[in-house]
């Protein structure tokens, strides 16, 4: 028996660190790390110890003989194929397969007399928490965690689809640092509004901004601002009960077809949620209002628009495989352009386009109502390649095609063409890239200021990519601390506490966050769900304050 890495791989390389035989690649010091969609176990070198499975924060690693029962049997082949394509290893004629070990690396080498520093981390998503973890595990730093929302989690809480519960489990890894003795937590505090960047810097040796990318990229076509046109990020936030997105922000009533512009993972998440069986979603932490809307939904078809061909799919192979396993949902490729079928047939087994060979291929009649061929109950997802949106109309999208423009009727259009960083008050900002200008994580012209995550490198890479990104930033920060170039804070930790609590009426700390967690899990237990999220700021604050009333 060997092990295999599967769909939910987060690429944070925790498994690499515990493998005793170096059979998981690419490793963080290899050129392909961050370029591959996931990590891979070499079945010829694996000794079946299970250390990787125990360490994986998202339960993505399974014994090969357990894959079939989970519907993941393709991943044994996917893991093996990575090494068959030439991943470095040696195979003696009569011996086992070996992978060469790299030279020992000691990334955190600090002087014995290195004094503890006080670091603020703005943002409690993966980038911020990986930075905090690095500081807490490798130094004696005191860490101040700050988030503008009254609850922690960032992308893990509000960006992961509800039907991916294993991916959300990485939040448990981060949560163990919320109550660390060298951590102070201030949730519900907006840097730039409640506290300025200058004030934050004055009370800390360094500040790491890990605020993500809260904006969305634009299509730049007419009709983009019509009521039926919604950024996919807002749709994701809607079904995840984000307090800044109203329950009525997305309307599905009377909508039989939804057009999603884009074929990245966010686009596929949206498509999957729209056509999934609501009874299956009822066992997840999906927002109550979203579950009710999906139960009443008339959506029978989701169209995924791609400007280019199937050979350039932006999603990962694992997400595409998951799309093909949806019960009761047909996967269709619109054969409006002869280049589409040719690209799929020419694809090698390692290409994502090859995964569409099992899909149905037909020339879609956009004049027919969704489900007309197989009845009103049919649900399907249609890929339309080589088709760029030209204009969003009141109840349709005009798109390009091999035979000229076509109007695709749609009651809702989701724009899934990427996120975009927004300016942070007090920090420089590059409008062209939507990021904060930096060098190795050091904010340009701002000593003591650092960035990590999407606001640093742009909105690319999943949860695990933030680990190496944060490690680079923390490395720069510690190097500056050792060199003595960090500006000395003029305020104390106690003074910062007084400043924040004097300006923000309801600050949520670690105990308040724990109270929110208990409240959501208690609500979930009543309905047989892992949790029922509190979806507004007043509800979150009230739950956090409830523990104070209990102590009186």
pLDDT per position as a tens digit, 20-58: 999 999 998 888 888 889 999 999 999 999 999 999 999
Q: At CA 517, angle to CA 515 and CA 518, rounded to 5?
A: 65
Closest C-alpha to 158, from 288, 1, 285? 285
Q: Is the pLDDT of residue 95 over 70?
A: no
The sign one gets for the Cα dihedral 265, 269, 275, 277 is positive
E strand spans, 433-534: 438-439, 442-443, 449-451
Closest C-alpha to 537, from 504, 499, 498? 504
Where b means 16+ CB within 10 Å and e means fewer, 319-350 reads bbbbbeebeebbbbbbbbbeebeebbeebeee
Q: How far is CA 327 from CA 50, 277, 278, 324, in A?
A: 31, 8, 12, 9
pLDDT tens-digit map of 499-533: 999 999 999 999 999 999 999 999 999 989 999 99
What pLDDT sits at residue 552?
46
Decide: 537 and 241 in contact? Cβ < 8 Å.
no
Burial of 228 (0-12, 13-18, 19+ CB in 10 A): buried
Walk me through the domains of the chain, giving residue ranges and CATH numbers: 3-84 (3.30.70.20), 118-214+421-507 (3.40.50.720), 218-417 (3.50.50.60)
pLDDT band at 469 (very low <50, low <70, confident <90, very high): very high
The span from the CA of 241 to the CA of 239, in Å, is 6
pLDDT tens-digit map of 405-451: 999 999 999 999 999 999 999 999 999 999 999 999 999 999 999 99
How high is the mean pLDDT of the chain? 93
pLDDT band at 201 (very low <50, low <70, confident <90, very high): very high
pLDDT tens-digit map of 241-274: 999 999 999 989 889 999 999 999 999 999 999 9
Q: Is the pLDDT of residue 548 over 60?
A: no
Give the containing element (helix H, strand E) for 463.
Answer: none
**Residue 541: CA atoms inside 13 Å, Cβ hemisphere, count?**
14
Place of tokens 């994701």: 236
Q: What residues contact residue 208 under an 8 Å CB cut-off, 6+ apart?
A: 119, 120, 121, 122, 128, 131, 450, 451, 452, 470, 473, 474, 477
Q: Is the pLDDT of residue 89 over 60?
A: yes
Q: At CA 167, angle to CA 166 and CA 170, rounded to 5?
A: 100
What pLDDT sits at residue 375?
55
CA 379 to chain centre: 26
What pLDDT sits at residue 88?
67
Decide: 396 and 381 in contact? Cβ < 8 Å.
no
Per the structure block, which two tokens stand in for 441? 């994580």
The sign one gets for the Cα dihedral 110, 116, 118, 123 is positive
pLDDT tens-digit map of 317-354: 999 999 988 999 999 999 999 999 999 999 998 899 99
Per the structure block, which two tokens stand in for 158? 């509000």
What mean pLDDT do residues 192-213 have? 97
The span from the CA of 282 to the CA of 292, in Å, is 10
pLDDT tens-digit map of 354-411: 999 999 999 999 988 886 555 556 899 999 999 999 999 999 999 999 888 999 999 9
Residue 430: beta bridge partners? Answer: 435
CA dihedral 397→402→404→407, nearest 10 degrees, is: -20
């Amino acid at each position: 028996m060997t092990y295999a890495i599967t769909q939910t791989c987060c690429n944070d390389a925790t498994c690499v660190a515990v493998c005793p035989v170096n059979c998981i690649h690419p490793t963080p010091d290899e050129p392909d790390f961050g370029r591959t969609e996931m990590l891979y176990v070499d079945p010829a070198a694996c000794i079946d110890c299970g250390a990787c499975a125990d360490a994986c924060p998202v339960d993505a690693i399974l014994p090969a003989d357990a894959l079939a029962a989970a519907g993941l049997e393709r991943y044994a082949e996917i893991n093996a194929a990575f090494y068959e394509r030439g991943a470095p290893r040696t195979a003696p004629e009569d011996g086992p397969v070996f992978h060469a070990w790299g030279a020992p690396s000691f990334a955190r080498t600090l002087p014995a007399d290195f004094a503890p520093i006080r670091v603020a981390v703005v943002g409690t998503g993966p980038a911020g928490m990986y930075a905090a973890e690095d500081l807490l595990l490798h130094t004696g730093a005191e860490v101040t965690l700050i988030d503008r929302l009254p609850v922690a989690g960032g992308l893990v809480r509000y960006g992961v689809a509800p039907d991916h519960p294993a991916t959300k489990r990485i939040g448990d890894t981060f949560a163990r640092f919320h109550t660390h003795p060298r951590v102070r937590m201030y949730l519900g505090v907006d840097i730039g509004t409640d506290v300025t960047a200058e004030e934050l810097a004055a009370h800390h040796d360094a500040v790491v901004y890990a605020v993500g990318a809260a904006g969305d990229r634009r299509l730049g076509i007419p009709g983009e601002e019509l009521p039926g046109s919604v950024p996919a990020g807002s749709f994701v936030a809607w079904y995840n009960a984000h307090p800044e997105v109203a329950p009525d922000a997305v309307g599905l009533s009377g909508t039989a077809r939804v057009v999603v512009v884009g074929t990245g993972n966010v686009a596929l998440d949206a498509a999957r949620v729209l056509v999934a069986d609501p009874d299956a979603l009822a066992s997840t932490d999906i927002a109550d209002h979203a579950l009710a809307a999906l139960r009443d939904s008339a959506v029978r078809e989701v169209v995924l628009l791609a400007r280019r061909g199937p050979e350039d799919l932006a999603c990962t192979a694992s997400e595409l495989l998951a799309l093909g396993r949806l019960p009761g949902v047909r996967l269709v490729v619109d054969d409006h352009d002869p280049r589409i079928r040719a690209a799929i047939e020419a694809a090698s087994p390692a290409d994502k386009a090859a995964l569409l060979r099992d899909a149905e291929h037909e020339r879609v009649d956009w004049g027919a109502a969704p489900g007309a061929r197989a009845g009103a109950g049919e649900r399907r997802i249609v890929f339309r390649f080589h088709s760029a949106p030209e204009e969003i109309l009141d109840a349709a999208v005009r798109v390009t095609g091999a035979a000229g423009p076509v109007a695709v009727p749609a009651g809702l259009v989701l724009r899934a063409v990427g996120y975009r960083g927004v300016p942070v008050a007090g920090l420089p900002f590059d409008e062209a890239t939507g990021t904060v200008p930096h060098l190795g994580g050091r904010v340009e012209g701002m000593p003591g200021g650092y960035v990590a995550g999407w606001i640093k490198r742009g909105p690319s890479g999943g949860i695990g990519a933030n680990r190496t990104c944060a490690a680079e930033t923390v490395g720069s920060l510690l190097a500056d601390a050792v060199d003595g170039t960090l500006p000395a804070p003029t305020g104390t930790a106690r003074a910062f506490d007084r400043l924040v609590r004097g300006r923000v009426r309801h600050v949520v700390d670690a105990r308040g966050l724990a109270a929110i967690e208990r409240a959501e899990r208690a609500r979930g237990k009543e309905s047989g769900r892992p949790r029922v999220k509190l979806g507004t700021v007043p509800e979150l604050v009230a739950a956090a304050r409830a523990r104070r009333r209990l102590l009186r």
